Each structure stands twice: as C-alpha cells, then as structure tokens.
Structure 1
Amino acid sequence: MGKKLVKYCVVDAFTDTAFKGNPAAVCLLEEEKDDKWLQSVAAEFNLSETCYLIPLIEPANTNPRFGLRWFTPVDEVDLCGHATLAAAHFLFSYGLVKTDTIEFSTRSGILIAKRVPEPKASNSQDDWPTGYSIELDFPVVQVAETNFNDVLAISKSLNGASVVEINETSMGDHFILLPSGEEVFECQPQIDLIQNCPGRGIIITGPAPQGSGFDFYSRFFCPKFGINEDPVCGSAHCALAPYWRKKLGKCDFVALAASPRGGVVKLHLDDEKQRVFLRGKAVAVMEGSLLV
C-alpha cells in the first residue's frame, strides 16, 4: 500500500504581497503523527514556523474546529500568531471550511480566526477573489519589569543600540524599548550575543515616526529556537499591545514589523477580557504534498 500524501501550503502572513511578511508552512493531516516526524518536517522546511492542522469532530451547530500545533526548526512552541493566520488563510482560501469562523484547539487553549470583509486596495497583489482580512483572538502576554540589569550586554547584542527600558514577557522574552522606530528598523542584531543572553529571545520596539501611519515598530530575535529573526511575530504583538496601551493611552494600533521582509499588524486590545485581536492578510506562495 502506498504512503498517504500530506498536503501542504507555504503562506506569507501579515502581508498581501508574495515574499513579504512571515512565511509559514501549513500541513493538513488526516491522522495524528508522532512528534519526531512533526519536528523533522519542520526542520526540513526550515521556516520560522511549520504548523499542523488535523480536523476535529465538533458538536452540531458549532464552528469547524481543528487541532493546531506549531514547530520551529528545533522545537514546539506554545503560541504562534503568523502560522495561525496562515492556517486560517489556507482553510478559507481552499474552501475547506464553509463558515467565516474557525476554532483552533492549541496549547494556549481555543483560538478563534474570523474572516473579515474589507475593500481590496486598488494596487493589491493578493490572490483572494474578494477583499478580506483575518482576525485572530489571542490571549494577552504580560510584560513586567525584570531584575536583569545588564544594560550593556543587551546593548552589545543589539550592536550598541541605546536601551531605554528592559522588561520581560510572561513567555520569557526580553522586551526592550529603543528611543525610536528608526532605531528599531536600523538595528543590526548580533545573533551570537543574543544566543548567549538569558531568556528565550529579544523583542525590540520603539515609537513610530510621526506621519508614518503606524503607532510603533518592532522586531523579534529568537536564535535559541532556530529563528535568528522572526519576520513578523504575532505572539510578540500580544505583549506589544498591552505595553503600548500604557504608553499611548489607546487600545487600537497599526504596527509595523520592521524586519527586512516587513509586515503590518492591526491590533485591538480588550483590557477587560485580556485578549488581543490581531488582524492581517496573507498570500499563498507554494503548495504541494509531502512524500514521507
């Protein structure tokens, strides 16, 4: 009997232009696979995230539900925004769901993705038949002061960048405020030094220039998980939203992921429910079947 092929699609998330934003491989499974296989496939794709979908039997009159797991090239993670957006785009665009809402069962609980109609820009290059974005309902990631006081080590890891604040997220990342969005954009990370810093990774952020159309810029470096730079990190924005809520006194943001690939994330923070709603677009760039 021949092997069952596993359908996959590579999707660029938080962009409507191919080869921008953050790429994720989405694999649709018909049956559970062991963790070694899942990790091996993620290492083979060698993208910041490879995610795996498996259909779940949902109660009658509910939204379609899928199991969803995320793997970097070296490990499984608890929360990933861009691969969740990519998974939702895959299901919507290939007609694999008939509703505008999908539920994902994950390590971080039930996450919801909604298809939200919006006018398509006249210069858009996306592949959607009609204009829409995808909104993700995610938990807030807390940001708090840290007892790590080695500003010099952090600054050196960011090639001498001026460090205004050092905080820490509840996911174990250093959260660094730089003086401006321009400095975030121009930062030249020293990956070997970041690898040796305590904690999981480093988020850097700064206020966007006036007139830019954005509220803040950010970037995320996580070499310990096989990701030197995550081009647009959705889960980092779950920490960025409550942080900038305190700084700017508002709950709605347009954020630029200032990596070389770039990407745009629209955010709404629900303080009462401690949820972050991330909205973005995505575009499929390749598809095929795994032969293993």
Structure 2
Amino acid sequence: MSTTLAQWLTTDRPASRLQARFVRLNLSFRALVANRLALVGLLIVLALVAMALIGPFFAGSPTDQVLANRLLPPSADHWFGTDELGRDILSRVVHGSQITVRIVLMVSLIVGPVGLTIGIVAGYFGGWVDAALMRITDIFLSLPRLVLALAFVAALGTGINNAIIAIAVTSWPPYARLARAETLSIRNSDFVRMAELQGASTLRILFNHIAPLCFASVVVRLTFDMSGTILIAAGLGFLGLGAQPPQPEWGLMVAAGRQYVLDQWWVATIPGIAIFIASLGFNLLGDGLRDVFDARSS
C-alpha cells in the first residue's frame, strides 16, 4: 500500500486535478525538508503549536501563587524557576504559548486576505482605483508599525483582542503591495484574457485566476512576518498595552522580571528566550518556503 501511495504521489502524469495538487504538495514538502534550516524552523513551529494545544493539560496553573516559593532558581521542582509571586515560570511559558499562537493566527487570518484583496483589485483595475488604494497603503507604510500599533491600542484600549486589531491594522500594507506587483505581471496574460473573452465575471477572474497565483508569495511573506508579529505583541505586553496581569503573556513576563534581571536572571530571561526561539522558527521556516515557492531562486 505504501509503495502504491508513493507512486501515486510521485507520478509525472496525474490523472486528476486532485492528484496533481497532491503531487505538487509532495514535491514542495520534499524540497522544504531537504533544506536543513527550514526543517529546523518547521520543527520549532510545530513544537510551538503542540505546546499551545496540549501543553496546558500537563502544566500546572499559571496563576497559582505560593509566596514562600518566590524567586526560586531553576530546580527539579521548578525547571524554569519561579517569579516574584511564586508562580512556576515553566507553567506560565507553556500557557503563554497559547496567547502567542492565538495572536499570530488571528493577525495572519486578517492581514492575509485583506492585503491580498486590496492588492489584486488595485493591480487588476489600475487607474484611479490603483492610485487611491496605493496612496492609502503608502500612508500606512510611512509610519513605523510599532508606533502605529501603540496609537491604535491607545485609542482602542488595552487587552489581547485590541492588540490583535492594532497589529492587523498596521500589518496589511506589505501584502497589498506584494499582491499588486504579482497582479500587474499577470493581468495581461493569455489565460486572463481568455477568461474575460469567455464572459467570466470580475470576481471570478480576481479570485479564481489571479489570487491563487499570488497566494504562495503572500504565504511566504506571512511566515516571515509572524516573527515580527510576535515581537510587536511582546512589545505591547512589555509596555502594559497588550495582555494584562495575571495573563502569562511572554512580553508581560519579561516586563515583570526586568527589575530582577541581575540577581534572579531566569524571571525575565526564560520568557525572552521563548520569544527568541519562536521568532527564529518562523524566520527559518519562511526562508525555506521562499526557496520552495520562488521559482526564480531555483
């Protein structure tokens, strides 16, 4: 059965569109795994997702306070030590991964479709539509993401949900620019002209013919930007504008432990290392995906 499946996935003459998609997916996965750094990034991301999904079932409560255990160093009882309120840092890091994955996932689900839609509409129609949408995009691009996110959070109020909205509002312009550039390169292609001559609607052309060709580039850019999303979310938490105590958000944990960094280094360092590893994983994975999907790099 395994040999038959392997042949089905590696054939150079797919019998159906579904098989062709699986063959292409198999080739892409093999190319990704062949890149060692990309494989490391993929394993880090999978470990982060697994920790967010099943880790909290095995870790203790992140809010249990035992003042007698304040600022204990890493040991067999508390692998990552305890914080200023006697809470287990390992448990808080594990539960904090849920917040990180949630922020990354929600921001990606918002900025990807929004940026893709704006970009393909601007690139396909051109003229005043393109000019208007790109000038709005330029306004957002001219401002630093973190500063703009701080402004939106200050207007919306603190909290994880408002932080997600603020990060998403400031993150969509690069995707719009990328999708527009891709659309400009293919809008006069023969298959697009053929679809127009056959009477296909504008929406069908945009989302059935153009958007799929822009999708790979957007996914690669999304993967790269996930590390930036983690850093901005941690920055908002550090400044007290994102997650609020007693939530175990990594940036908030770093902020709470900064006054103990010289004597009890683990309080701020451990969540800082978690931020670094998660960001590194997405960067390595994004670099591998770029090599897989960018035909010009092969």
Does TM, scored on the shorter chain, surpass 0.5?
no
TM-score, length of structure 1 as denominator length: 0.27
TM-score, length of structure 2 as denominator length: 0.27
Bigger radius of gyration? 2
Select the structure that is richer in helix.
Answer: 2
Select the structure that is richer in strand.
Answer: 1
